[in-house]
């Protein structure tokens, strides 16, 4: 894809992400406040969802790439873009397989929900595929990328132990117990590892293809 077009698509993705993250907050935070605890506790609850974490990171990567600020170059580099692409893919597939049957939003909230779990992931994955793959990503970058889901898991457990709130049924300690929870976390980590390694393989293939195309041109 033409470089300037790829930048414009990044601005579009950032704008969509901001609308979706803020729009969903207008539904989730007031609903949580009705259960008690005030605004700040509701805000913490809102940011307990991996979908929100990942869509927010996607906005940061889009903006870092489009603005080309030197201080943000690392965030929007090949590792950062691949990390978000893999996380978006996991968000979409997990929602389709596990969460969509349990969640039935209506009206505008359904529009926000669809955007966060389908439109935004598909757009980012497309942007990632057609974008630059300037270097062959090293396989060990998958270990660096795993810091993101592992950090989320630590946050969920720490927060849950303090306020006894769990964002997803498959990470609910009171219902699962420590043994099952740890099994689930290990399983999820393995899923992320496989996805990240698969996308690294795709990125390396695209890098070689683009390199051959430049040499042929």
Radius of gyration of the chain (CA): 18
For the cut 80, the answer to whether the pLDDT of residue 211 exceeds it is no
- The residue behind tokens 């399983």 is 187
Tens digit of each residue's pLDDT (9 = 90 or more) over 173-204? 999 999 999 999 999 999 999 999 999 999 99
pLDDT attached to residue 116? 96
H or E segment and range at residue 97 = none
Question: What integer pLDDT is reported at residue 75 of this predicted model?
Answer: 87
Return the structure tokens found at 203.
């990125």
Q: Is the full-model pTM beyond 0.75? A: yes
Q: CA 203: distance to chain centroid?
A: 18
DSSP state of 133: -
In tens, the pLDDT along 140-183 reads 999 999 999 999 999 999 989 988 888 899 999 999 999 999 99
215 pLDDT band, cuts 50/70/90, is very low
Specify whether the CB–CB gap between 217 and 111 falls below 8 A: no
């Amino acid at each position: 894809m033409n470089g300037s077009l790829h930048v414009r698509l990044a601005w579009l993705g950032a704008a969509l992400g901001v609308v979706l993250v803020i729009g969903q907050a207008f539904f989730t935070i007031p609903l949580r406040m009705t259960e008690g605890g005030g605004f700040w506790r509701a805000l913490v609850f809102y940011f307990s969802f991996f979908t929100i974490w990942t869509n927010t990171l996607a906005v940061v990567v889009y903006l870092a790439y489009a603005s080309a600020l030197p201080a943000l170059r690392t965030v929007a580099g090949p590792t950062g873009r691949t990390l978000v692409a893999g996380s978006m893919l996991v968000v979409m597939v997990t929602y389709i397989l596990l969460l969509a049957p349990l969640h039935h939003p209506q009206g505008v909230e359904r529009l926000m929900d669809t955007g966060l779990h389908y439109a935004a992931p598909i757009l980012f994955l497309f942007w990632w595929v057609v974008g630059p793959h300037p270097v062959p990503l090293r396989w060990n970058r998958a270990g660096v990328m795993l810091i993101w889901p592992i950090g989320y898991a630590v946050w969920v457990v720490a927060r849950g132990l303090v306020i006894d709130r769990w964002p997803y049924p498959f990470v609910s300690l009171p219902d699962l117990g420590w043994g099952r929870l740890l099994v689930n976390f290990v399983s999820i980590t393995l899923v992320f590892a496989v996805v990240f390694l698969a996308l690294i393989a795709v990125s390396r293939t695209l890098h070689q293809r683009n390199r051959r195309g430049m040499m042929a041109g």
